[in-house]
Chains A and B, each alone.
Chain A
Amino acid sequence: MLLQYLLLPVVFIILVKVARRATRVKSVPYGTISHMSLVPHGEASVSGAAPHSFGTIEEAVVSRASVPDTSTDDRQAAEMDSPSPVDSQTERQAHVAYDAEALVGYYQKMVEIRLFEDATTKAFRQGKIGGYLHVYSGQEATGTAFLGAMKPEKGDVAIAAYRIHAHALLLGAHPNNVMAELYGKGTGIVKGKGGSMHLFHAEGGMLGGYGIVGGHIPLAPGYAYGLRYQGKDGVVQSYLGDGSIHNGAFHEAANLAGLWGKSGMCPTLFILENNQYGMGTSVERATAMTELGRKFESYGIEWERVDGMDVQATLAVAEQVQERVRETGKPYAIEAFGYRIVPHGAADFLEQYRSKEEVAKWREKDPIPLLHGQLIEMGIAEDRLEAIRAEAKAKADEAVKFAEESPDPDLSELLTDVYADDTYVEPAG
């Protein structure tokens, strides 16, 4: 046993070295993303992206009807079978206008998340963060818009999986405490007891933080039922990845949600973050019916797809569907179609399951440079955006400093919080 523990760090160092070499050879810049990378990759995306046009992201999807990777039959079937589909994206964009100033605010949030994640990746590779580390880079447009539509004062909550640093930050957790949690420090947001996969900030409506793929999904319809049962007006946002939709827990949960929604007892907004890979297995390799949002239809749940790489697209939908769910008490589902532009986890060094060309192509659709280009088009000065990036970098650095300087959890914490009343404690050892 002891030998294994001694060998672990050695194996880790070898893996890091192999990965670094692979990175050099392939010239794929997956490593730490400097904040310079937050400006557009190509000229096209700077000059070509007008607000509300999808510009360079010709393949990214706006509505169900324009999914590139599904067969015509599937698409037609989707159009025909979807129970009263909401296909009014264009219409919505016409009346939900986000002015440049509001978008600058979203830019700031997205950049803060990205630079926080860059810092976590760096710390993981330095061996300062243990366990698993799943970063959100590339998916910011989804969380930023939908979590932004939550109204904690009405009792709205989010229940998410394990790629959740952004969810905690966006719901008001302090970056210092989130970083300290990843470092396993006593100042961590869950006292160093959960780590990257179990972030909770109940005060802001962030209710986890679960590491078993699919296992957290049934909690949402139950929580939603509880809210309505108690006469509360809240909405539960249930975040799930494309990898979890093949798990029985998803289907059982969706079935309950549809069923309880019939009597207005299930205000759940499912947000399927389709980043196209469940770990290394692509959607095509995981299911014969790849139009994932349609799986909700089996359970009487309406849904729509949004471009998860463009915050203007997600914003155009978020508040409206949140309020619709609040009003009806019925579940609704969003498939946010996007891409994980970084490895699955910080230890996913080789990425043999996808080509570097594919990754490079999607990195050109990176939501942050996209928004940057849109803001420049709208007349926002580069200096101002640069200042936002610098400030975000400083925040991330401060979080790292706080985490590094924080004390380890007190050893007495080992045995607390096992039971809610803490009257029953078994001794250690």
Chain B
Amino acid sequence: MPVMTYRDALRSAMAEEMERDESIVLLGEDIGLYGGTHLVTNGLIDQFGPKRVIDTPIAEGGFTGAAIGMAMSGLKPIVEMMTWNFSFLAADQIIQTAAKLHYFSGGQVNVPLVVRGPNGGGVQLSAQHTHSLEGFYGHFPGLKVVSPATPADVKGMMLEAIRNPNPVIFLEAGALYGTKGEVPEGDEVVPFGKARVAREGTDVTLIAYGRQVPLLLRVADKLAEQDISAEVIDLRSIRPLDTETFVESVKKTNRAVVVQEQWRYFSVASEVCAVLQHEAFDYLDAPVERVSGAEVPAPYARNLEIAGFPTIDHVVSAARRVLYLEK
């Protein structure tokens, strides 16, 4: 299997699918001539031309709405949010129109739309440019929301996103664009709503998605040094949420820590906890722990930023708490 970066895997999914399907177009700010702010779309304008790789003015609401119109007309647009932070300007289009159009048209209209871009922080972009929006978009019925963590998944899930007849919120782990991994060649679709056991273990279940998955693998290494066997679950998909995989894991380990970069309250971790207390109540040997971002707008200074996100130490500590090894 070839090894490639998260960024290249993502680009190859779009390029391969665009070769197969002419109805796919890309829209976004500086995705063409500039090459994309994060180089995800670099070179695609040369390959597919400006009619298919459309540089837009800086007007997220306008071009996202236009992409919905394109989807209604029979195209399969992929919109790049330069970062998901700018999607608030398009939230009316995404939430009020894309998510609901199929329902309030009584099933007459489909919106096969992908909105993608880097999500989350970690590179000192401070308050307005640092958000993790899984919980926010995961809240709305009508959207499918995914957050792939590996190069293989980002390719397979992008293929699925493009072929899906619904609006898909594709939250990329921006901090992982340069990370490498094996990626299957060709048409390997990763279906939505199916979590992945990233590492097997027996003592405690660590649950995350996106950028926190590689963090949890390092945590598991650390815990292994202390003879603690951690199982790591990568949710992959936020809506639909595969509850079965993590519930089964917790039934085996009887302990769980849910880790996310986003704020604690009303978050994905809140939802996972609710599911666990309902589906695995009798199996839990300790209250489920959440490790989340600090309840502050993201700060700029490097040390403050690091302190505000989940770290290996935070998660190791939480795992030890659910094992009653520390308070």
Contact = CB atoms under 8 A, between A and B. Distances in A.
Contacts of A248: 61
Given A215-B96, A223-B72, A253-B65, A208 B105 contact: yes
Contacts of B240: 424, 426
A189 interface: yes
Nearest to A417: B107
A107 B256 CA distance: 71
B92 A249 contact: yes
A46 to B, nearest CB: 43
A149 B25 CA distance: 30
Contact of B62 (A207, A255, A265): A255
Interface stretch (B51-59, B120-128, B174-182, B223-231): B51-59
Given A227-B73, A419-B142, A421-B166, A218 B62 contact: yes
A190 B62 contact: no
Interface stretch (A76-84, A192-200, A300-308, A345-353): A192-200
B66 A222 contact: yes
A207 B109 CA distance: 8
A141 to B, nearest CB: 27
B69 A219 contact: yes
B67 A222 contact: yes
A255 B59 contact: yes
Given A190-B106, A424-B193, A212 B96 contact: yes
B68 A193 contact: no
Given A208-B105, A208-B109, A421 B165 contact: yes
B106 A218 contact: no
Nearest to A215: B92
A417 B25 contact: no
Nearest to A259: B57
Contact of A418 (B62, B103, B105): B103
Contacts of B65: 215-219, 222, 249, 252-253
B245 interface: no
B75 interface: yes
A219 B72 CA distance: 9
B41 interface: no
B70 interface: yes
Interface string A248-261: 11011101100100
B66 A225 contact: yes
Interface string B50-92: 0100001101011111111111111101000000000000001
Question: Which residue among B23, B66, B74, B165 has the maximum number of chain A CB atoms within 10 Å of its CB?
Answer: B66
Interface residues of B, number: 46
A83 B172 CA distance: 44
Contacts of A256: 56-57, 59, 62-63, 66
Contacts of A201: 108
Contacts of A198: 104-105
A209 interface: yes
Question: Which residue among A201, A416, A418, A426 has the maximum number of chain B CB atoms within 10 Å of its CB?
Answer: A418
Question: Which residue among B56, B70, B75, B105 has the maximum number of chain A CB atoms within 10 Å of its CB?
Answer: B105
Nearest to B25: A229
B194 to A, nearest CB: 12
A210 interface: yes
A191 interface: yes
Nearest to B59: A252
Contacts of A208: 101, 104-105, 109
A192 to B, nearest CB: 8
A1 interface: no
Contact of A223 (B64, B70, B97): B70
Contacts of B108: 190, 200-202
Contact of B109 (A200, A224, A259): A200
B75 A252 contact: no
Contacts of A416: 107
A209 B68 contact: no
A420 interface: yes
Given A159-B69, A215-B93, A226-B73, A193 B103 contact: yes
B141 interface: yes
Interface string B132-144: 0000000001101
A62 interface: no
Contacts of B106: 188-191, 193-194, 200, 417
Contacts of A426: 141, 240
A221 interface: yes
A218 B75 contact: no
B38 interface: no
Nearest to B240: A424
10 contacts: A200-B108, A208-B101, A208-B105, A215-B93, A222-B71, A223-B69, A223-B73, A249-B62, A418-B103, A421-B164
Interface of B: 23, 25, 51, 56-57, 59, 61-75, 77, 92-93, 96-97, 101-112, 141-142, 144, 164-166, 193, 240
Q: Give the 5 A-B CB pairs with smallest separation, nearest first.
A: A218-B65, A252-B62, A222-B69, A226-B73, A222-B66
Given A159-B69, A212-B97, A424-B193, 7 more contacts: A200-B108, A215-B92, A219-B66, A224-B73, A225-B66, A230-B23, A424-B240
